Amino acid sequence: MDLLRFAWKDIMPKGGAAHASRLSYHRGQRIALHTHDFAEVFWVERGKLFHRLGSEVSGRYLEEGTLMVLHPRTRHTLGHSGKEGEASLVNIAFPFFFLQEVLGEMEGESVLGLPKPDEPLERRLSPHALGHLHHWPQRLTRIRPRGHHVKAFLLDLLMLLEEEQINHHPAWPMWLAGSLREMDSPEGLREGLPLLTRTSGKSREHLSREFKRHVGMTPVRWLQKARVRWAAQALRLENRGVAEVANDVGLSNLGHFYRIFKDEMGCTPREHRLIHRETSSVGSDAESYEKMA
């Protein structure tokens, strides 16, 4: 079989730094085995797609939410899975050196490494992550994308993957991961354990037992830590008072909030805010923040 070769100058002739597209696949549609001289990031937005690397004999199916990062010299083919229904894929192509530069600046601390030829990097995105990425193709096609736009996309993607890594462990059952994602917001934290029980579909006893086995702590302990984490983030980034922040995450008893915050963070909410504001580059007067608290 002949190998198709796609060149950057052919898909982006006007000197732009990124090419974004949203492709729909119907039954019987397939792109022949091909390679290219640019890097690609693509994710399956809807449905299921067939994917085969040039080094593979049979290939495999990519589920909805699968993200792939490809080296320029990767040989691969994509197509409809053969199942009923349309499938769609988002593809963002760009010169490889942008990915090298972004990852190089992170000094080995990134959730991604560099892909190799015929060895793409793969991650599974949550529905939340898919929704977050949904508008990037439109953003990159409304303008003539430059290098800083490509880096902005890559940094946003890396930050999203870091958040996904924090909020989801691959060994967790899907029902547990889904419930914790529902909880991962001030609204979810305010409702607390009733939301966790309802979204899990499990009895309280079964939930508590499985939660401790997979997460390593009780639901009550996890909820306490999650509430403090969200509150600490709000205190660092927002100018709202401590009582308002505490109430926002479901801890209306201010005395209790201060106790568990100090247990988790090693300092009071007011001290936490002052420490982070004083060490930031904003240069604001610490006394103004003390008054707000």
Q: State the CATH number of the domain containing residue 77.
A: 2.60.120.810
Provide the pLDDT for residue 293.
Answer: 38
SS3 content of the chain, % helix, strand, coil (to 5): 50, 20, 30
Provide the pLDDT for residue 85.
Answer: 80
pLDDT per residue as tens digits for the range 172-194: 787 887 788 788 788 889 999 99
Let me know whether 213 and 143 are in one domain: no
Provide the pLDDT for residue 278.
Answer: 58
Let me know whether 206 and 186 are in one domain: yes
Provide the pLDDT for residue 19.
Answer: 93
Distance in angstroms (rounded) separating the CA atoms of residues 169 and 173:
9
Last residue of a domain, one of 167, 183, 218: 167
Distance in angstroms (rounded) separating the CA atoms of residues 115 and 126:
22
Provide the pLDDT for residue 61.
Answer: 92
Provide the pLDDT for residue 288.
Answer: 37
Provide the pLDDT for residue 170.
Answer: 58
Residue 119 bridge partners (DSSP)? 116
Let me know whether 227 and 140 are in one domain: no
- Which structural domain, as residue segments, surrounds residue 257? 174-292
Question: Terminal CA-to-CA distance of the chain, rounded, Å?
Answer: 69
Q: State the CATH number of the domain containing residue 272.
A: 1.10.10.60
Last residue of a domain, one of 146, 167, 188: 167
Let me know whether 100 and 190 are in one domain: no
Q: Rg (Cα) of the chain, in Å, rounded?
A: 23
Let me know whether 74 and 198 are in one domain: no
Let me know whether 139 and 191 are in one domain: no
Let me know whether 128 and 269 are in one domain: no
Let me know whether 102 and 213 are in one domain: no
Last residue of a domain, one of 149, 167, 185: 167
pTM of the model as a whole: 0.61
Q: Is 59 exposed, middle or buried (0-12, 13-18, 19+ CB in 10 A)?
A: middle
Provide the pLDDT for residue 250.
Answer: 94
CB 113 within 8 A of CB 89: no
* 12: DSSP letter: -
Let me know whether 222 and 266 are in one domain: yes
Residue 30 bridge partners (DSSP)? 79
**Structural domains of the chain, count:** 2
Let me know whether 278 and 256 are in one domain: yes
Low-confidence stretches of the chain (pLDDT beneath 50): 280-293
Let me know whether 37 and 104 are in one domain: yes
Q: Both tokens of residue 22?
A: 């949203």
In degrees, to the nearest 5, what angle opens at C-alpha 260 toward C-alphas 258 and 264? 115
pLDDT per residue as tens digits for the range 139-164: 998 888 999 999 999 999 998 888 77
Let me know whether 159 and 127 are in one domain: yes
Provide the pLDDT for residue 292.
Answer: 36
